[in-house]
Structure 1
């Protein structure tokens, strides 16, 4: 890592924002040049300061970090956006990547990991952390345009979730209980999975999911 990366912090909780600023101040290669508590303020600051990286929470009270990411990159195309969030959620991750974010990090990471991620994103990499520990495969899927397992086959996020439960051996009744939906809803998802994977039964769907490396 070399050079100083200019960062703007976007976080609606003041204590968190102050803590992040103080933590990053310990690293000479990172300089926090601005901070905001919502999307409109963040846009004004970013347009004025032209930071290298914008570090934002996904949810900013009444505003959205996802919308901020899209709007920010419209006006400040050279900025790199990293979502730093408590939400370990595939849907948020997918939406963030669609909006143009280059990082999706969970707040449990250490200061050293955060700084390393900022430098990697500034250098052009895509960086993701997940509690499941499948960062490498997640990044590979995102870079290929597959935002969740099975996306390249046309599976929706919910269908991917149902397939993951099939893979671990759950029957329709157990899946319905796990997802808190009716069994008929599960059967509808399973039929869609069969059609999209071009298989005729549960065993074939399981085999194809494993053969294609959809789940680790």
Structure 2
């Protein structure tokens, strides 16, 4: 009797990742188009947007695998856009591509559902690699921020959670206090955290009360005395 060997069914090639870049600067969009054009088998740009509204329309129409957007889109918040996309279109992942080398933005992005945080100085090959990993379900963080993320993880494992937790500060109050210690004005804090100045003032009143101080210098003195920020 002749034995028939049945080979494995060939695995169909994976289709290119469908991508929608969002940025208020046309030059950035053109640059991404040119850079990713070298990887047609890996990434296909199915649309570009310069506003949050246009991005949401594209996501609804094209169902991309990934939206690549900045933390700020003109006067709009890329973080708000990220939250809208991940809530309304859970099959589409969002990666933040930004110039902000800032762990505050990183943590905010992860809180609202971002699958990655990458700095704009990245090259094409690295970007494609990160997008591939995101498509496969990983969360990617730019290597320049990895050390700070590791420090935060060490604080979590030691039970500290965040600087000032033992004094009763919420995580957001701790973030506000760190920026005050760094010399930021209320407006500067609001810009960093992508919130209104009124929201910042509310957090400041809360941390003043918990630290038992009445002004900014008193709060900073407590932070320095306790060694909250290094």
Fold conserved (TM > 0.5)?
yes
Partner of 2:35: 23
Equivalent residue number for residue 123 of structure 2: 110
Trace 1:13-92 onto structure 2 (pairs within 5 A): 13-27=25-39, 28-92=41-105
Distance 1:183 1:75, change over 3 A: closer
- Partners of 1:180 and 1:135 lie apart in 2 by 20
Cα contact 2:71–2:78 (8 A) shared by 1: yes
TM-score (structure 1 length as normaliser)? 0.70
Closer, same or farther: CA 6–112 of 1 in aligned 2, 3 Å: same
Cα RMSD of the aligned pairs, angstroms, is 3.4
Counterparts in 2 of 1:55 and 1:180: CA distance versus 1, 3 Å: closer
Q: Which has the larger radius of gyration?
A: 2
SS at match of 1:48: helix
Equivalent pair of 2:152/2:162 in contact (CA under 8 Å):
no
* In the alignment, structure 1 residue 128 sits paired with structure 2 residue 179: no
Aligned pair partner of 2:183 in 161, 179, 194: 179
Give yes or no for the alignment of 1:98 onto 2:111.
yes
Q: Deviations over 1:36-69 (max 9, x none)?
A: 0010000000011000000001110021111111
**What is the DSSP-based 3-state SS (H/G/I as helix, E as strand, rest coil) of the residue aligned with 2:95?**
strand
**Counterparts of 1:149 and 1:130 in 2: how far apart (Å)?**
22
Q: How has the CA–CA distance of structure 1 residues 81 and 23 changed in structure 2, closer, same or farther, with 3 Å as cutoff?
A: same
Cα 1:30–1:95 change in 2 (3 A) is same
CA distance in 1 between counterparts of 2:222 and 2:25 reads 42
How big is each residue's C-alpha offset from its partner over 1:155-213, in whole Å with a ceiling of 9 and x where there is no partner?
A: 51255x48xxxxxxxxxxxx96x53686423123346xx5xxxxxxx5xx7xxx9xxxx
Residue 157 of structure 1 is aligned with which of 152, 156, 175? Answer: 175
CA contact (8 A) 1:82 1:102 kept: yes
Normalising to structure 2: TM-score of the pair? 0.66
Runs of 4+ in 1 over 4 A off after TM superposition: 138-141, 148-155, 180-183
Uncovered stretches (5+) of structure 1, i.e. residues with no partner: 163-174, 195-201, 210-214
Query: Given the superposition, is the C-alpha separation of residues 138 and 40 from structure 1 closer, same or farther in structure 2, using an over 3 Å criterion?
Result: farther
Please report how far the alpha carbon of residue 152 of structure 1 lies from its aligned counterpart in structure 2 after TM superposition.
7.4
